[in-house]
Amino acid sequence: MHEVEKVFTSHWGAFRLRARGGRLTQALPLAADPDPSDIARAVPAAVHHRSRVARPSVRRSWLEGRPGARAGRLRGREGFVELPWDEALDLAAQEIDRVRRDHGPEAIYGGSYGWGSAGRFHHAQSQVHRFLSCIGGYVSSFASYSTGAAQAIIPHVLGMEFLRLTWEEQNAWPMIAENTRTMVMFGGVNRKNAQVSMGGVTRHEVGGWLERLSRTGARLVNVGPQRADAPEFCEWLPLAPGTDVALMLALAWTLEDEGLTDRAFLARCATGYERLRDYLTGAADGQPKTPEWAAPICGVAPERIRALARRMASTRTLITVAWSLQRARHGEQPYWMAVALAAMLGQIGLPGGGVGFGYGAIGGVGAAIRRLGGMTLPQPPNPVRDFIPVARIADMLLDPGGRFEFNGRVMRYPDIRLVYWCGGNPFHHHQDLGRLSRAWTRPETIIVHEPWWTATARRADIVFPATTPYEREDIGRAGADPFLFHMPAMIPPVAEARNDYDIFAALAARLGEAERFTEGRDAAGWIAHLYERFRQQAAAEGVEVPTLDELRARGWVELPIAGAEHARVPFARFRADPEAAPLGTPSGRIELFSERIAAFGYDDCPGHPAWLAPDDDLPAERYRLKLLSPQPADKLHSQLECALADAPGARPQTVRLHPSELHARGLRDGALARVFNDRGATLARVRADPGVVPGVAVLPTGAWFDPGPDGTDRQGNPNALTRDLGTSRLGQGSSAHTARVEIAPLETAAGG
């Protein structure tokens, strides 16, 4: 048997994949990628892992007692019965039909958050949303775990959607490399995160751009709790997490104090500065936001704050902010205050100046590229209007009919009877998994499509085995990437796995909506249809795209849409003439005070950016460490975890702390420990790291949640410990990065 090799793309980039005799054998880097990700290496072992779902599976007591919620408390605690496809599809269709008939489609939650896999047609979220819209509708979700608070606050401040800002109004790397002299990076610009981008990033260039910028003599300052959030050649300004706003306020106070504020820019392009200034100087609340005030809060010495403020005012400065800062309580504030600080410097609209978010958070941010229309599955209108901010899922399930506030509205949680999940892992991504486990007992039925027996699949009633991208044909293309991929089926479906599309088509037929869902096409027909539409759109914009047959033959191509010529100066037109090119805010200007937000009357998001002291519910004396749960370096979220966890000693996951914190707790480097708080506990292996500020524990996400008999997670999932509370009533985003914990050696672990 000979080996075949094809090029695949994925959220972590393109790679060469080899197969022999129906099995994947090896994943290798692609020469076109200057800095390929290692994540792909785990693909063959994961695809053929024993934890694949082999056949449709129905939870035992659901099968016996259906329909009804009686046995919901047994979810995740009992076995499954494997059924033939037709029987399992019949059961699922009957149950969906029962719920939509008896309770209406607003009793079905199809928000189904998650990344799933790359590939334009077999895009799990698009498939499940299309299916549910076709059969009557579903309760949807708004925004993301990535940028929930940002998506709420930025339109109030800059008058545009956050995603539009990200892709169209931020400095691209060539613009930065040429013009920026000081880059102040809150949360760093992280090469580990830049490995990943939605739909893929083929040339990993973020590290290269930072190097280039540094070689020009520009100063790069990583402000944050971890040295490793930026390359070694960057300066590190250690800062306690969750305190960036205090530092930003002190920088702003210094600008004001030393006459460095750009008054002319503020007068022309911003509104509300007087209100913010009264807050800065203390005229409003009696507390001037001086460097001496900020120093004990954020841990940065007053002289260093003053020096940084002067440098920022005297050179072309770009302020960058990681997405992590807003995945925390009051996460709206650092985003708003970063804009305010940039406005005071007066460089918004100048090449390489101003403010930008999420550089390095995903690889595509800052790519100089001409945006083309996508290649997306068409979505019929969803007849149900109800939605939740995505991270409020446990609140919704625990409190049907309950009232909540969101961005100026008062809303109610729907009464959900059926949850449908496809392409996401809530028992990876949600906070306070103990609480989610309680909420998860409420629905009458939970249906999940998964390739693997993840924590979520194990807590479902009906599990349909889904194919992975290597078992089906697809097209790969990402909006911030110039490459286009044809991805053939490399191996037959593992065991009885089927494509999400085929599962939905079979259900739609049973529910009388086959024609609406499929439009008479099979998967190959859809791929040809979507591809041809994309090709025509591109042609209309003057970009020539090969035919599908040509792409099949070549495997992958680069489209002529990338390069420095596609880098524009963001906000240039607005800066030149704010009357003629106003922003979409009520005032048409950058809003440093928002009448609209002030009118909401939220104490957790007032009318101007403010320092809101952390309000964690756990006592700091008992739980002395702040827990950070960043994205894992070696994988995407919980994906491929099964293969990585097999390495001897790999689990439980490693938690890193400053050596002084180990010493204070009698912990040996490498020892097993218990990380705990009032919400839960997990095992973890301890690692000393002088590149972590004292007072912080860093435990990456992605271990498969696996609580033992006493409830302690055995794998090292930080969401056993995080708090399930919105960022504020404005954004209601995930506040994963605000949590307190304590750590004890395993042998003598007490408390929790």
Ligand X SMILES: Nc1nc2c(c(=O)[nH]1)N[C@H]1C(S)=C(S)[C@@H](COP(=O)(O)OP(=O)(O)OC[C@H]3O[C@@H](n4cnc5c(=O)[nH]c(N)nc54)[C@H](O)[C@@H]3O)O[C@H]1N2
What is the contact surface with ligand X in residues (CB under 6 A)? 114-117, 122, 124, 145-146, 186-188, 190, 192-193, 195-196, 223-226, 229, 239, 241-242, 244, 322-325, 327-328, 361-362, 422-425, 428-429, 449-452, 454, 466, 500, 628-633, 636-639, 701, 718-719, 722, 736-737
437 binds, among ligand X, Mo ion, none (CB under 5 to 8 A by kind): none
**Nearer to ligand X among residue 225 and residue 578 (C-beta):** 225
- Least separation in angstroms between CB 472 and ligand X: 8
Report which residue type is found at 24: L
**Nearer to ligand X among residue 209 and residue 265 (C-beta):** 209
- Least separation in angstroms between CB 268 and ligand X: 31
Cβ atoms of residues 15 and 28 within 8 Å:
yes
**Nearer to ligand X among residue 639 and residue 712 (C-beta):** 639
| DSSP-assigned letters across all residues of 455-522 | HHHHT-SEEEEBPPGGGS-EEE--TT--EEEEE---SPPSTT-B-HHHHHHHHHHHTT-HHHHHTT--
- Least separation in angstroms between CB 358 and ligand X: 7
Cβ atoms of residues 658 and 692 within 8 Å:
yes
718 binds, among Mo ion, ligand X, none (CB under 5 to 8 A by kind): ligand X
**Nearer to Mo ion among residue 324 and residue 518 (C-beta):** 324
Span near Mo ion by CB under 5 A; candidates 28-36, 142-150, 485-493, 543-551: 142-150
* Non-local CB neighbours of 246 within 8 Å, separated by 6+ positions: 289, 293, 294, 297, 298, 611
59 binds, among Mo ion, ligand X, none (CB under 5 to 8 A by kind): none
Span near Mo ion by CB under 5 A; candidates 143-151, 160-168, 344-352, 575-583: 143-151
**Nearer to Mo ion among residue 135 and residue 390 (C-beta):** 390
332 binds, among ligand X, Mo ion, none (CB under 5 to 8 A by kind): none
- Best CA proximity match to 184, nearest among 303, 331, 345: 345
**Nearer to ligand X among residue 325 and residue 697 (C-beta):** 325
Q: What are the φ and ψ backbone dihedral angles of 634, each rounded to 5 degrees?
A: -100, 5
What whole-number distance in Å separates Cα of residue 500 and Cα of residue 567? 38
What whole-number distance in Å separates Cα of residue 377 and Cα of residue 373? 12
729 binds, among Mo ion, ligand X, none (CB under 5 to 8 A by kind): none
722 binds, among ligand X, Mo ion, none (CB under 5 to 8 A by kind): ligand X
Q: What's the full length of the chain, in residues?
A: 752
What whole-number distance in Å separates Cα of residue 645 and Cα of residue 703? 8
- Least separation in angstroms between CB 68 and ligand X: 26
The answer to whether the bond into 652 is cis (omega within 30° of 0) is yes
* Helix-strand-coil split of the chain, %, nearest 5: 35, 20, 45
End-to-end CA distance of the chain: 56
Query: Which residues form the catalytic set?
Result: 113, 115
675 binds, among ligand X, Mo ion, none (CB under 5 to 8 A by kind): none
Element housing 590 (H / E): strand 590-591
What whole-number distance in Å separates Cα of residue 586 and Cα of residue 565? 33
- Least separation in angstroms between CB 147 and Mo ion: 8
**Nearer to ligand X among residue 277 and residue 498 (C-beta):** 498
- Least separation in angstroms between CB 137 and ligand X: 21
**Nearer to Mo ion among residue 227 and residue 327 (C-beta):** 327
Mark 102-141 with x for binding to Mo ion (rule: CB under 5 A) and - for no binding: ----------------------------------------
Cβ atoms of residues 175 and 6 within 8 Å:
no
Element housing 62 (H / E): helix 60-65
**Nearer to ligand X among residue 508 and residue 538 (C-beta):** 508
- Least separation in angstroms between CB 342 and ligand X: 16
Structure tokens given for 203: 């040339």
432 binds, among ligand X, Mo ion, none (CB under 5 to 8 A by kind): none
717 binds, among ligand X, Mo ion, none (CB under 5 to 8 A by kind): none
Residue with the CB atom nearest Mo ion in the bound state: 146
- Best CA proximity match to 204, nearest among 370, 366, 6, 18: 366
- How many other CB atoms are found less than 10 A from the CB of residue 642? 21
> What does the DSSP 8-state code read for residue 578?
T
Q: What are the φ and ψ backbone dihedral angles of 617, each rounded to 5 degrees?
A: -80, -10
Is residue 499 within the footprint of Mo ion (CB under 5 A)? no
What whole-number distance in Å separates Cα of residue 464 and Cα of residue 473? 19
- Burial of residue 566, with CB atoms counted within 10 A of its CB: 0-12 exposed, 13-18 middle, 19 or more buried: middle
**Nearer to Mo ion among residue 146 and residue 382 (C-beta):** 146
- Least separation in angstroms between CB 719 and ligand X: 5
Q: Which of residues 386-445 bind Mo ion (CB under 5 A)?
A: none
How far, CA to CA in Å, does 75 sit from each of 34, 69, 449? 46, 10, 16
- Least separation in angstroms between CB 631 and Mo ion: 7
Element housing 445 (H / E): strand 445-450
**Nearer to ligand X among residue 277 and residue 637 (C-beta):** 637
327 binds, among Mo ion, ligand X, none (CB under 5 to 8 A by kind): ligand X
- Least separation in angstroms between CB 633 and ligand X: 5
244 binds, among Mo ion, ligand X, none (CB under 5 to 8 A by kind): ligand X
> What does the DSSP 8-state code read for residue 381?
P
What whole-number distance in Å separates Cα of residue 510 and Cα of residue 418? 18
The count of chain residues that interact with Mo ion, using the rule CB under 5 A, is: 1
How far, CA to CA in Å, does 14 sit from each of 30, 32, 362? 7, 9, 15
**Nearer to ligand X among residue 61 and residue 117 (C-beta):** 117
| DSSP-assigned letters across all residues of 698-745 | E--S-S---B-TTS-BSS--GGGT-----S-TTT----TT--EEEEEE
Element housing 397 (H / E): helix 393-398
Structure tokens given for 251: 């920088």
The sheet with strand 556-558 has its strands ordered as 474-476, 483-487, 556-558
- Least separation in angstroms between CB 12 and Mo ion: 13
- Least separation in angstroms between CB 629 and Mo ion: 12
Q: What is the C-alpha radius of gyration for the chain, rounded to an integer number of angstroms?
A: 26
223 binds, among Mo ion, ligand X, none (CB under 5 to 8 A by kind): ligand X
**Nearer to ligand X among residue 115 and residue 236 (C-beta):** 115
Strands 182-186 and 219-224: parallel
- Least separation in angstroms between CB 465 and ligand X: 9
505 binds, among ligand X, Mo ion, none (CB under 5 to 8 A by kind): none
Cross-strand bridge partners of residue 475: 486
Binding-site member from 117, 146, 425, 735 for Mo ion (CB under 5 A): 146
Q: Which of residues 601-620 bind Mo ion (CB under 5 A)?
A: none
Report which residue type is found at 668: R
Interacting residue ranges for Mo ion, rule: CB under 5 A: 146
